[in-house]
Amino acid sequence: MKTVYFDNAATTSIRDNVIDKMSEVMKSNFGNPSSTHSYGRQSKSLIELSRKRIASHFNVSAAEIVFTSGGTEADNLVLKSAVRDLGVTEIITSKIEHHAILHAIDQLKKEYDITVKYLDLNSDGDIDLSQLELLLQTDTKQLVTLMHINNEIGNILDLKKVAELCKANNALFHSDTVQSVGHYKLDLQEIPIDYLAASAHKFHGPKGVGFTFLRKNSGLRATIFGGEQERGLRAGTESIHNIVGMDEALTISYSNLETERNHIKTLKSYFIEQLQSVFPNVSFNGQSGDLEKSTYTLVSVCLPISAEKANMLHFQLDLKGIACSKGSACQSGSSQNSHVLTEILNLDDLQKPSVRFSFSCFNTKDEVDYVIGILKEFVIS
């Protein structure tokens, strides 16, 4: 059976070069980085070299990169420490953030009784930045947390504009950049952001490792306690092979950025054209159908099909070897919808099946044709 993997926003395959690099480290560099003997020093040297290389991609110092288990831990570290240690009493965010943000904020509300303000969204899922500017005009200690690229609908936030608004009003700014790191260049000397989170498995690196950027003298403190690893900010023996693998994956992604971006963008454009030719009434959630206003890596589609067929859509796609992600879950047997789509779609569209297709440099035009053919066969039959 033919298989097509169009769920790269969920996770990506690991590049062969990355696997080779990680295997080499696992075989030869097993020493504990905290040990003072030669085995430990070799491991520590690899970690610090990776830290420097990762920092160089963002034009920051190595000391501002802290390794974590992934984006979720990075988000939690920033949010919790900002409230607990920096005196933040108000968080400004949106209701379409990743659950790593929303659930962490819910817990902080219970523990610290902070104020949370949610920004308005338009029907395309764009955030009202004029409202943000108004909310920032206060003496309250504030943290703004807004993701750079929405993982479900692909909308792109003007990261620099938000960072400058926050800086002008003495508010801290954190962004979950899990969907953008490795796909977009971010110069953090040009973008005055305070904190960001990233995860290796979104750019063809290993799972279980990521990093957070913490602007120098951030004042944040550890949320995991134990040893003094990561300058006391993240206890636990470092996963050397994963850190080196993340470094390798990020380096390759940025080295090939223009070529791979053009390839993926062409695939997305072709996919949209083919969908529109087969389904004239198809619609795209958020800005995902706009090549300029959304990331080139994904498209979220609302298909105009009957409720009866909608119930079987994802099963049929999986049966035909197609991996993708569902959006609205009204028709899937789940009791919960996508929290993102619930915020931006009307009741009629929420009853239709929404599917997120996300692409990588390893996908092909033939795979697009196959998926379109399966959709056409299922919907029209």
Closest CA relative to residue 372, chosen from 308, 311, 324, 310: 324
Task: Classify residue 4: in a domain, yes or no.
Answer: no
pLDDT (0 to 100) of residue 330: 37
Tokens of residue 122, six digits: 């338009």
The residue written with tokens 């789509």 in the block is: 341
pLDDT (0 to 100) of residue 333: 45
pLDDT (0 to 100) of residue 306: 80
pLDDT (0 to 100) of residue 332: 42
pLDDT (0 to 100) of residue 327: 65
Task: Classify residue 274: in a domain, yes or no.
Answer: yes
Task: Classify residue 3: in a domain, yes or no.
Answer: no
Known catalytic residue at 361? no
Q: Does 279 lie in the same domain as 243?
A: no
Of 227, 255, 283, at which residue does a domain stop? Answer: 255
Q: What is the C-alpha separation between 286 and 122, in angstroms, rounded?
A: 9
Give the torsion sign (CA, 105, 171, 183, 64).
negative
Task: Classify residue 370: in a domain, yes or no.
Answer: yes
Q: Does 123 lie in the same domain as 234?
A: yes
**Domain count for the chain:** 2
pLDDT (0 to 100) of residue 326: 83
Q: Does 231 lie in the same domain as 293?
A: no
pLDDT (0 to 100) of residue 328: 43
Q: What is the C-alpha separation between 113 and 90, in angstroms, rounded?
A: 9
Asked if residues 140 and 90 have their Cβ atoms less than 8 Å apart, the reply is: yes
Helix 38-57 / helix 240-255 crossing angle, nearest 10 deg: 30
Asked if residues 200 and 210 have their Cβ atoms less than 8 Å apart, the reply is: yes
The residue written with tokens 């993340």 in the block is: 246
Q: Which domain holds residue 375?
A: 257-380
CATH code (residue 327)? 3.90.1150.10
Closest CA relative to residue 98, chosen from 163, 179, 208: 179
| Average pLDDT along the chain, 381 residues, taken 10 residues at a time | 95 98 97 97 98 98 98 98 98 98 98 97 96 97 98 98 98 98 98 98 98 96 94 96 98 98 98 95 96 97 85 92 75 66 92 94 98 91 71
Provide the b/e sequence for 291-304 (b: ≥16 CB within 10 Å).
eeebbbbbbbbbbe
Task: Classify residue 88: in a domain, yes or no.
Answer: yes
pLDDT (0 to 100) of residue 331: 36
Closest CA relative to residue 295, chosen from 321, 259, 320, 265: 265
Of 236, 255, 274, at which residue does a domain stop? Answer: 255
Helix 257-278 / helix 240-255 crossing angle, nearest 10 deg: 70
- Active-site option among 166, 302, 324, 330: 330
Closest CA relative to residue 9, chosen from 288, 333, 331: 288
Q: Does 375 lie in the same domain as 246?
A: no
Q: Does 179 lie in the same domain as 162?
A: yes
Q: Does 276 lie in the same domain as 212?
A: no
Tokens of residue 85, six digits: 């240690």
Tokens of residue 361, six digits: 């440099």
- Return the number of other C-beta atoms located less than 10 Å from residue 266's C-beta: 14
Of 255, 272, 290, at which residue does a domain stop? Answer: 255
Tokens of residue 160, six digits: 């620099």
Distances (CA, A) of 375 to 4, 272, 372: 13, 13, 5
Q: What is the C-alpha separation between 132 and 128, in angstroms, rounded?
A: 7
Q: Does 188 lie in the same domain as 91?
A: yes
Identify the H or E element spanning 75.
helix 71-86
The residue written with tokens 């994904």 in the block is: 298
Q: Does 127 lie in the same domain as 276?
A: no
The residue written with tokens 């298909």 in the block is: 303
Task: Classify residue 2: in a domain, yes or no.
Answer: no
Cα 357 → chain centroid: 15
pLDDT (0 to 100) of residue 307: 74
Please report the beta strands in the chain, taking only residues with DSSP state E, as ranges in sequence order: 4-5, 65-68, 90-93, 115-118, 142-145, 172-176, 195-199, 210-214, 283-284, 298-302, 322-323, 325-326, 354-358
Q: Does 214 lie in the same domain as 65?
A: yes
Tokens of residue 201, six digits: 């498995």
The residue written with tokens 């097509």 in the block is: 4
What are the start-end ranges of the H helices in 227-283?
240-255, 257-278
- How many residues would you count in the chain? 381
Closest CA relative to residue 321, chosen from 378, 355, 370: 370
Q: Does 285 lie in the same domain as 229?
A: no
Task: Classify residue 334: in a domain, yes or no.
Answer: yes
